[in-house]
Amino acid sequence: MSPQGLARGLGFAFLTFALVAPQASAEDRSAVPLEHGADLGSRLSRGVLVLHAEVTRDGGKSRLQLLEPIRGEAPAELVVDSRQSNAIRDLDTQAFRTVKGEQAVFVLRPYKNRREDVRLGVFEPAAGGASKIAVPVEGAEALFDAIREIVAFQDAADRGAAEARLIDWIGDRNPWLVDFALDQGSRYGVVDEEWIAPLLRSMRDPSPWRRLTALAALGEAFAMNRFARDASFRQASDALLEESSDSLRAAREEIVRLARSDPDDRVRREAVRRVAASGFKGAGALLESISRDDASQDVRYEAAVELRRFLKRHER
């Protein structure tokens, strides 16, 4: 084939590919995807203003039409100036973008320039490119329900009453609330014996993230002796062991099962870190076996480290 014929053939092939290759929509490219309910909660916590709105003008100074205020008071129409936020963002993070006609949930704060001057009626993204939460084609109702519930939880004056709802959310059908509750339990030391049954269900979930987060929540509660029924047992692991309920024994067995056989290396490694603190009687032998036989070098190393700590504690 002549060079000219080859060029025409390549040009035709390129044109054909361009016509049939799937194209991401502008909406898909302009939003940072949500990972899970913990990510959703983190984004919402950063906004003074959280609202559902439609974009009537896009660009660096977007104009929004309010559809539903979720946190804070907002005017019926507002301007979002994202130019400064985009200019100072880390280069490996996505810029805040809007598309005219789209509807989304926006996480905002009052606009301040570099001199800390506030411009009334103008707002800016509170979480960079993650300040726009895209509304999915399917599951929009579940996402909105979760956003309303999480914002109410974050704004609640009565923390005790708010934290009591987390147990119900772990068993909820709404995946965003399940993830948010697991994350809260793993971070803030609120887990007690009432949490064990829903945590055990999450430790058998197909999602490695859920298994890992539920395991971290349960393991932290064991480490803090949150399950001791009497204050005198707080530093007495042997007494706590003798006082074990069926649910506590089931929790220990689940930690051991994950340490031995979970298919995800990260979950096995976390379980190895939690075995001894759980009060499992065979912790030393189990850690020695895992340090020798696990398929993952990282898990074997973690087991060896935990075994040394375990033996040192029992030398005292």
Do 117 and 60 fall within a single domain? Answer: yes
| Conformation bin of residue 234: beta by default, left when phi > 0, alpha when psi is -120 to 50 | alpha
Q: How many domains does the chain have?
A: 2
Do 36 and 174 fall within a single domain? Answer: no
Tell which residue, 161, 143, 170, has the closest CA to residue 41: 143
* Longest CA span, the chain: 91
Query: Strand 77-81 and strand 118-125: pairing?
Result: parallel
* 209 belongs to a structural domain: yes
Mean pLDDT of the chain: 86
Do 126 and 244 fall within a single domain? Answer: no
The DSSP bridge partners found for residue 125 are 108
Residue 225 — φ and ψ, nearest 5°?
A: 55, 40
Reported as a single tens digit per residue, the pLDDT across 150-197 is 999 999 999 889 999 999 999 889 999 999 999 999 999 899 999 999
Tell which residue, 172, 96, 186, 188, has the closest CA to residue 134: 96
Distance from C-alpha of 74 to C-alpha of 76, rounded to nearest angstrom: 7
Residues 6+ apart with CB under 8 A from 161: none
Instruction: Read off the pTM.
Output: 0.82
pLDDT on residue 265: 97
Structure token pair of residue 300: 């074997």
Q: How confident is the model at residue 233 (pLDDT cuts 50, 70, 90)?
A: very low
Residue at which a domain ends, from 134, 167, 183: 134
Do 234 and 267 fall within a single domain? Answer: yes
Do 230 and 130 fall within a single domain? Answer: no
Do 85 and 164 fall within a single domain? Answer: no
Task: Please check the confidence at residue 208 and state whether its pLDDT lies above 50.
Answer: yes
pLDDT on residue 5: 53
Do 195 and 281 fall within a single domain? Answer: yes
Do 280 and 197 fall within a single domain? Answer: yes
* 50 belongs to a structural domain: yes
Of 11-15, 28-32, 200-204, 218-222, the poorest mean pLDDT is in 11-15
Contact between 93 and 129 under an 8 Å Cβ cutoff? The reply is: yes
Reported as a single tens digit per residue, the pLDDT across 240-256 is 444 568 899 999 999 99
pLDDT on residue 91: 86
Coil, helix or strand at residue 52: strand
Do 84 and 202 fall within a single domain? Answer: no
Do 162 and 311 fall within a single domain? Answer: yes
Query: What is the extent of the structural domain holding 67?
Result: 26-134
CATH number at residue 223: 1.25.10.10
Of 91-105, 106-120, 287-301, the poorest mean pLDDT is in 106-120
Distance from C-alpha of 54 to C-alpha of 46, rounded to nearest angstrom: 21
* 18 belongs to a structural domain: no
Do 52 and 180 fall within a single domain? Answer: no
Distance from C-alpha of 236 to C-alpha of 228, rounded to nearest angstrom: 9
Of 213-227, 230-244, 281-295, the poorest mean pLDDT is in 230-244
